[in-house]
Amino acid sequence: MALVIVGTFVVALCLCAGDAQAQAQLQVGFYAQSCPQAEVIVRDEVGRAVSANVGLAAGLVRLHFHDCFVQGCDASVLLDSTANSTAEKDAIPNKSLRGFEVIDAAKTRLEGACAGTVSCADILAFAARDSVVLTGGSPYAVPAGRRDGNVSAASEAQANLPPFTASAAQLTEAFAKKGLSQEDMVTLSGAHTIGLSHCSSFSGRLSGYNATTGTGQDPSMSAATASGLAAQCGRSPDAAVPMDAGSPDAFDTGYFHAVLANQGVLASDQTLTSDNVTAALVVENAYNTYLFVTRFGEAMVRMGGIKGLTGGDGQIRRIRTNCRVLN
């Protein structure tokens, strides 16, 4: 465990044995000489966006997750589709992603300040951290030095992103394939303490849950929660509802308390109480805020080291001063 000064914060950074190899060429303060204002510029753009629309904080955290789980943290999720290729962002699991314009705004300013220096992949990692902090979470140091990937395929997103219907065992396996532990999986699920979920992602839990009769609600969801969600979704099939109704815009432990009360919105949320080990982790995070925020920062650093491009691999995107096209 090392203490690192980031701006006015002193934060703990853990590079544990399991992620040492992935983090080998990433380092905190990577742009200290080449673009010393890099993190400040990203933080400023994220702050501007979140002040105007707090929901973008959850969107930016999700963007980073969806990037890292597909081909590693290489900003491939930001690339636009072309006439010959459907990109990750147009895959069905990514249709509701948002925050692209925030990354573009940061990239445009960074290209003006230090052209061809800061990768889109690092901007994503910085923006996710800043979104957590701006909604009340604790700061953590982000190792940087990622390079941008040259390939983006919708089929890869479909194959690698865990579905919102996944069981605890399936989630554990999906995270393990990325070098992340079961504790990391439960902790990172806590990001659902901010943001919304579209009704289409959980409508099957509200009615027609019994495959035999085609009726009934998911018994793992409290009746009051199911009734409330059904009412909200009944008004508009495309509606989006908070995943942590108690404090939807605050990065806190409310999500874990909701799961313990059988109020998890997604099946992949509530399933965390179906396994003794993951349920115990939910309890730990729910009742120890310091433990949760510490674990969360460490897990984000580990996730940020998944199979990224470093050194001379990949590129630093700079065409049109945005992250949507290759050089």
Which two tokens mark 45? Answer: 């753009």
Q: What dihedral do alpha carbons 256, 261, 265, 271 form, nearest 10°?
A: 80
pLDDT tens, per residue, the chain with 327 residues: 333 333 333 333 444 433 444 455 899 999 999 999 999 999 999 999 999 999 999 999 999 999 999 999 999 999 999 999 999 999 999 999 999 999 999 999 999 999 999 999 999 999 999 999 999 999 999 999 999 999 999 999 999 999 999 999 999 999 999 999 999 999 999 999 999 999 999 999 998 777 666 668 899 999 999 999 999 998 887 899 999 999 999 999 999 999 999 999 999 999 999 999 999 999 999 999 999 999 999 999 999 999 889 999 999 999 778 899 999
3-state DSSP assignment of residue 257: helix
Please give the C-alpha separations between residue 285 and each of 108, 275, 314, in angstroms, as whole numbers.
38, 15, 37
d(Cα 137, Cα 88) in Å, to the nearest integer? 29
Return the closest-CA partner of residue 181 out of 10, 18, 69, 27: 18
Enzyme catalytic residues: 66
Backbone Cα Rg of the chain: 19
